[in-house]
Amino acid sequence: MTVELHHDDFKEAVIGEESVDLILTDPPYGKKYMYLWEALGALSQRALKPGGWLITYAGQSHLDEEMASLGRWLSYYWTMSLHLKQGQQVYTLRVMWKPILVFFKPPKPRHGFIRDTIMGRGEDKRFHQWGQSTSELRPLIEAFSKEGDLVLDPMAGGGTTVQACLESGRNVIAYEINDRTFDRLKARVEGKIMALQSKLAAVPA
Ligand SMILES: C[S@@+](CC[C@H](N)C(=O)[O-])C[C@H]1O[C@@H](n2cnc3c(N)ncnc32)[C@H](O)[C@@H]1O
């Protein structure tokens, strides 16, 4: 299993063309970040293998623009629903779900069985203010990739995707632009690798 962490802008990423099986990420959702969605589409088109998947958490307020940006580069497959445990207030709406968009690079691939509603156990803010939970990502990783595949998270934040990949035997490349966030991501991943290594060492030969 390999893990590559890059303290860098994913728009400058040097990633082998058509080398990635699954891109799994959670970009910022605000209006001022819409350019990142176009860049994410372009990167996915270039880096995904034919038949590779892009799965991304998405915001509701600019969902039309997010989908249009990705749709210029990839084919649309599905919108999964992440059921929010606590929900949150936006304007006068009590928001109880978050869209998770699934696109692919043709030809249309197959995936393993998965329900299109994921029951969230609550966000994990220990490593990032917008941190997600590994328990939500594991079923996605397991249905849309297989052991030994290469997963890319171009906007890794506190490293939820990286940790979920380590737990499920996927190779992973991650990019994070922010200095403090990258330091936290690196420390989390190093801790997880040490924990996995000591678990392996404890298994009798
Ligand atoms: C919503 S957060 C990701 C949170 C992550 N899913 C977690 O569970 O911790 C988005 C991250 O993308 C990073 N980011 C924004 N623009 C970027 C860029 N151009 N290249 C790399 N990372 C970027 C931000 O610094 C932020 O940490």
Phi, psi of 50 (to 5 degrees): -55, 130
Q: How many domains does the chain have?
A: 1
Say yes or no: CB of residue 160 within 6 Å of ligand 1: yes
Is the minimum distance from the CB of 181 to ligand 1 under 6 angstroms? yes
What's the pLDDT at 55? 98
Residue range(s) defining the domain that contains residue 144:
3-201
For residue 27, report the distance from its CA to the centre of ligand 1, in Å.
6
Under a CB-based contact definition with an 8 Å cutoff, are residues 106 and 44 in contact? no
Atom 20 in ligand 1: residue holding the nearest Cα: 9
Mean pLDDT of the chain: 94
Residue of 8, 123, 173, 177 best suited for mutating to test ligand 1, as the one with most atoms within 8 Å of CB: 177
155 in contact with ligand 1, CB cutoff 6 A: yes
Distance CA 80, CA 98 (A): 8
Pocket test for ligand 1, best of 155, 178, 186 (most atoms within 8 A of CB): 155
How far is 164 from 141, CA to CA, in rounded Å? 8
Question: Which tokens in the block code for residue 186?
Answer: 């690196």
CATH code of the domain in which 136 resides? 3.40.50.150
For residue 181, which atom of ligand 1 is closest to its CA? 27
Residue 3 pLDDT:
96
Residue 160 pLDDT grade (very low, low, confident, very high; cuts 50, 70, 90): very high
Task: Name the residue with the closest Cα to ligand 1, atom 10.
Answer: 27
Angle at 48 between CA 42 and CA 49, to 5 degrees: 140
% of residues, the chain, pLDDT over 90: 83
Amino acid at 158: G
Between CA 73 and CA 154, with CA 97 as vertex, the angle to 5 degrees is 40
The reported pLDDT for the residue numbered 144 is 98
Q: What sign does the CA torsion over 54, 60, 61, 65 have?
A: positive
Mean pLDDT of 154-183: 97
- pLDDT of residue 126 exceeding 90, the answer is no
Region of 169 please: left (phi>0), alpha (psi -120 to 50) or beta: left
